């Protein structure tokens, strides 16, 4: 499947906007989500709000988390397109490049977060968590009621994607039939998490690559599959996947298929319409991702009481500061030209 640069950026732009809104409103709205778990009570509360006309923010609160799968999908797709044909990866340079990229994103903004969270706002210091977060080891360590607390609650993604960076040189050698088996295994793990595991195990799976095998491997399969979707086919698949996504999000037996439906919906939608403003936001999505937890904390502490006003200010500020952060990173740590 061929995903153009513009389509890729549109998927990223849409996903980061929905994720930014979700990460802010789910606490304000008092609606939990069924991420790697399922509660019929939570689903019924969500449906009652939707039926009463309170749809936009409640949908973001309940279902916005699912777009995280799009980032794992695009990572699997991009890595396969870039390295899939290489017989052997220059392993040291490959790992060094990706670890450096994550540190480049994390360290400056995380330093500001620590200064505000532990200094200005007076929270108790948790040195083990800080060290584990900076070294990307907090994901496997965070289990149950222990001293490791992921702060500020979103940077777990960096550790999980780094695990995939480590695993990719191994699984890229697999035949496509084995990748399909891995995808099925990922769905099976999600079913086990929902039906047969404790809350602590569910959370541990969510924080690690184990819980996101399906979207990442789906990206690898898409990169290896020569499929050319027409506009008409994309429209049909987009509508169908949107309907299926709604059913998956509100029915326990279909819940583990949510990520696949979300990916199909976003990919086909990007083939139907692409927007330059959305592509621009997609181009700075990694910086917005890093900045928005910091701004969320500030708005929770000091923001306007009006939900709509605080959400609008927080979202616009996340985009603006994310843009400035991306410019700062380019100025301080410019990327080396290819070939060096």
Number of compact structural domains in the chain: 1
Query: Whole-prediction pTM value?
Result: 0.92
User: What does the pLDDT profile of the chain (340 residues) look like in tens digits?
Assistant: 789 999 999 999 999 999 999 988 887 766 778 888 898 988 998 888 787 766 677 888 888 899 999 999 999 999 999 987 666 778 888 899 999 999 998 999 888 888 887 777 777 788 888 888 899 988 898 877 665 666 667 889 999 999 999 999 989 989 999 999 999 999 999 999 999 888 889 989 999 999 999 999 999 999 999 888 888 999 999 999 999 999 999 999 999 999 999 999 999 999 999 999 999 999 999 999 999 988 988 888 776 677 788 888 999 999 999 999 999 888 876 665 444 3
Which residue carries 């007076």 as its tokens? Answer: 122
261 belongs to a structural domain: yes
340 belongs to a structural domain: no
Report residue 2: phi and psi, to 5°.
-100, 115
Q: How far apart (Å, rounded) are the C-alpha atoms in residues 240 and 255?
A: 16
194 belongs to a structural domain: yes
338 belongs to a structural domain: no
294 belongs to a structural domain: yes
- CB count in 10 Å sphere of residue 306: 10
Q: What is the pLDDT of residue 338?
A: 47
Q: What is the pLDDT of residue 74?
A: 97
296 belongs to a structural domain: yes
337 belongs to a structural domain: no
Joined tokens for residue 9 = 């950026």
The residue segments making up the domain with residue 197 are 5-332
Phi-psi region of 182 (alpha: psi -120 to 50; beta: other; left: phi over 0): alpha
Residues of the chain by 3-state class (helix, strand, coil), percent to 5: 75, 0, 25
């Amino acid at each position: 499947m061929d995903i153009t640069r513009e389509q890729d950026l549109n998927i990223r732009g849409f996903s980061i906007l929905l994720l930014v809104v979700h990460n802010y409103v789910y606490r304000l709205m008092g609606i939990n989500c069924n991420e790697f778990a399922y509660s019929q009570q939570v689903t019924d509360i969500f449906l009652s709000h939707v039926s009463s006309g309170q749809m936009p923010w409640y949908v973001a609160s309940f279902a916005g988390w699912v777009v995280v799968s799009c980032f794992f999908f695009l990572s699997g797709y991009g890595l396969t397109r870039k390295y899939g044909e290489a017989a052997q990866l220059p392993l040291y340079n490959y790992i060094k490049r990706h670890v450096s990229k994550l540190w480049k994103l994390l360290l400056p903004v995380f330093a500001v977060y620590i200064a505000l969270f532990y200094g200005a706002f007076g929270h108790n210091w948790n040195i083990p968590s800080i060290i584990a977060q900076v070294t990307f080891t907090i994901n496997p360590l965070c289990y149950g009621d222990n001293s490791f607390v992921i702060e500020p609650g979103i940077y777990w993604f960096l550790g999980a994607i780094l695990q995939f960076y480590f695993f990719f040189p191994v699984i890229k050698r697999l035949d496509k039939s084995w990748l399909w088996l891995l995808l099925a295994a990922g769905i099976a793990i999600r079913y086990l998490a929902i039906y047969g595991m404790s809350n602590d195990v569910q959370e541990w799976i969510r924080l690690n690559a184990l819980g996101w095998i399906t979207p990442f491997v789906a990206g690898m399969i898409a990169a290896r599959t020569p499929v050319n979707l027409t506009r008409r086919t994309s429209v049909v698949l987009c509508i169908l996947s949107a309907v299926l996504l709604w059913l998956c999000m509100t029915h326990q037996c279909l819940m583990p298929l949510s990520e696949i439906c979300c990916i199909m919906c976003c990919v086909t939608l990007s083939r139907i319409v692409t927007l330059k403003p959305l592509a621009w936001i997609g181009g700075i999505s990694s910086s917005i991702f890093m900045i928005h937890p910091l701004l969320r904390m500030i708005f929770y502490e000091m923001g306007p009481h009006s939900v709509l006003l605080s959400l609008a200010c927080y979202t616009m500020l996340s985009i603006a500061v994310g843009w400035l952060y991306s410019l700062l990173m380019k100025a301080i740590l410019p990327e080396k030209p290819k070939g060096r």
